[in-house]
């Protein structure tokens, strides 16, 4: 058993720097593209690669004597390089945050096609590796050995308890990876704006939090005059994760009622009065942007320019071919009855 364990840790020690480098690359790819891009082609999500890298680093945890045994030890070199890169990553994220505070929400993605929220996954990976680097360099952990620790745990706890604990830790790690970057990015950006714009209006504060989405929903609320109107929204999927969220939409347009549709049709169990025209705000493949993807018999159509906020009005039916942006990517349809 000990020989098998030694063999596994030896393999992990060899694989660890290469796996870490690949994971860094994949997180940076999703910074430029969108969350889920990697899983689309490799099936496995970047969160899986991050957990795998951290786990392999812990299981192949090198004592200081081992770490220095070879001058060209790749694991030691990889951890050292990460320690140098981490401050650069943090400063880069801070610059992105400052730019979005000074300019507008989503400025970095619109201008440089980089997503600060996804970039946080790279920073989280780097922080974990830096902690591992600190431990490996600390004299306190000089004689640390994962095999000895495993023996001690096995002596004190039953195997089932250890396995259950491992699954709990992995589950918590997945939860952290799924939620911390989004929450942290939102808090940092919003609080930066609030502290630098203490006299901002309600609309400005909402824009700082939601970007164009809040302006769009204010526009919908203004042009839907009837309080009892039923408004159809796109499905809550990429790229309409916010505008397709009926509960969130209703916060802006209450007491008007929001019903969620699907990609190809309006809901058949309710009498719809208005239909949202929504390009989508979340990163996705080009062909997914734009909704409705079907024609609608309309009494009136209003389009709002996402940059200038200018509004255009037309008295004609909605043509599904308009989703290419020739008329406008965002707007509102009043259904002809």
What tens digit of pLDDT does each residue of 258-270 get?
Answer: 999 988 888 888 8
- Residue 201 pLDDT: 82
More confident residue, 163 or 306: 306
Residue with tokens 């969130």, as numbered in its chain: 248
Task: Give the residue-averaged pLDDT of 311-327.
Answer: 74
146 and 233 both lie in a single domain: no
End-to-end CA distance of the chain: 76
Stretch among 111-120, 176-185, 255-264 having the lowest mean pLDDT: 176-185
In a domain, 206, yes or no: no
- Residue 307 pLDDT: 84
Q: Residue 322 pLDDT > 80, yes or no?
A: no
Domain of 264 in residue numbering reads as 211-335
Indicate the angle between helix axes 246-253 and 212-223, nearest 10 degrees. Answer: 60
173 and 26 both lie in a single domain: yes
Q: Residue 311 pLDDT > 70, yes or no?
A: yes
- Residue 328 pLDDT: 59
267 and 189 both lie in a single domain: no
Q: What global pTM score does this model have? A: 0.51
34 and 161 both lie in a single domain: yes
Strands (E), 51-156: none
Q: Residue 159 pLDDT > 60, yes or no?
A: no
- Residue 217 pLDDT: 94
Residue 159, sorted as left (phi over 0), alpha (psi -120 to 50) or beta, turns out to be alpha
In a domain, 155, yes or no: yes
CA angle 108, 283, 319 (to 5 degrees): 120
Stretch among 79-93, 168-182, 303-317, 319-333 having the lowest mean pLDDT: 168-182
8 and 62 both lie in a single domain: yes
Task: Give the residue-averaged pLDDT of 208-231.
Answer: 90
Confidence of residue 163 (pLDDT cuts 50, 70, 90): low
- The C-alpha atoms of residue 16 and residue 53 are separated, in whole angstroms, by 7
Q: Residue 164 pLDDT > 70, yes or no?
A: no
58 and 178 both lie in a single domain: yes
The answer to whether the Cα torsion of 92, 97, 101, 103 is positive or negative is positive
For residue 255, count other CB atoms closer than 10 A to its CB.
9
pLDDT tens digits for 279-290?
Answer: 988 878 888 888
25 and 159 both lie in a single domain: yes
Number of continuous H segments (helices) and E segments (strands) in the chain: 12, 6
In a domain, 73, yes or no: yes
Q: Residue 70 pLDDT > 50, yes or no?
A: no
Q: Residue 1 pLDDT > 80, yes or no?
A: no
Three-state secondary-structure class, residue 281 = coil
How many structural domains are present in the chain? 2
- Residue 67 pLDDT: 43
Backbone phi, then psi, for 201, in 5-degree steps? -75, 170
CA angle 159, 164, 165 (to 5 degrees): 100
- Residue 253 pLDDT: 92
Most confident of the ranges 52-56, 62-66, 155-159, 214-218: 214-218
104 and 9 both lie in a single domain: yes
189 and 157 both lie in a single domain: yes
Residues in the chain: 337
Confidence of residue 332 (pLDDT cuts 50, 70, 90): very high
In a domain, 33, yes or no: yes
- The C-alpha atoms of residue 309 and residue 289 are separated, in whole angstroms, by 20
- The C-alpha atoms of residue 87 and residue 192 are separated, in whole angstroms, by 20
């Amino acid at each position: 058993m000990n020989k098998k364990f030694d063999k596994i840790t030896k393999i992990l020690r060899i694989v660890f720097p290469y796996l870490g480098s690949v994971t860094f690359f994949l997180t940076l790819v999703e910074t430029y593209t969108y969350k889920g891009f990697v899983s689309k082609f490799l099936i496995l999500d970047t969160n899986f690669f991050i957990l795998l890298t951290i786990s392999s680093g812990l299981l192949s945890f090198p004592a200081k004597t081992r770490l220095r045994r070879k001058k060209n030890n790749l694991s030691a070199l990889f951890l050292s390089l990460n320690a140098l890169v981490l401050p650069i990553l943090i400063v880069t994220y801070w610059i992105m945050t400052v730019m979005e505070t000074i300019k507008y929400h989503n400025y970095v993605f619109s201008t440089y096609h980089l997503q600060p929220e996804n970039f946080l996954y790279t920073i989280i990976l780097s922080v974990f590796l830096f902690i591992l680097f600190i431990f490996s360099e600390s004299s306190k952990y000089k004689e640390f050995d994962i095999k000895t620790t495993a023996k001690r745990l096995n002596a004190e706890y039953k195997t089932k308890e250890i396995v259950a604990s491992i699954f709990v830790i992995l589950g918590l790690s997945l939860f952290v990876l799924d939620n911390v970057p989004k929450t942290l990015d939102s808090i940092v950006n919003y609080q930066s704006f609030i502290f630098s714009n203490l006299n901002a209006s309600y609309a400005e504060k909402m824009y700082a939090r939601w970007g164009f989405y809040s302006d769009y929903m204010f526009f919908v609320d203004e042009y839907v005059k009837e309080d009892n109107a039923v408004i159809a929204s796109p499905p809550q999927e990429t790229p309409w994760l916010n505008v397709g969220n009926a509960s969130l939409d209703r916060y802006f347009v209450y007491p008007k009622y929001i019903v969620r549709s699907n990609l190809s049709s309006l809901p058949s169990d309710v009498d719809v009065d208005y239909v949202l025209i929504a390009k989508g705000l979340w990163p996705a493949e080009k062909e997914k942007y734009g909704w409705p993807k079907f024609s609608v018999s309309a009494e009136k159509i209003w389009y709002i320019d996402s940059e200038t906020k200018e509004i255009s009005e037309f008295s004609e039916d909605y043509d599904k071919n308009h989703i290419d942006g020739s008329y406008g990517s965002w707007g509102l349809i009043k259904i002809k009855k």
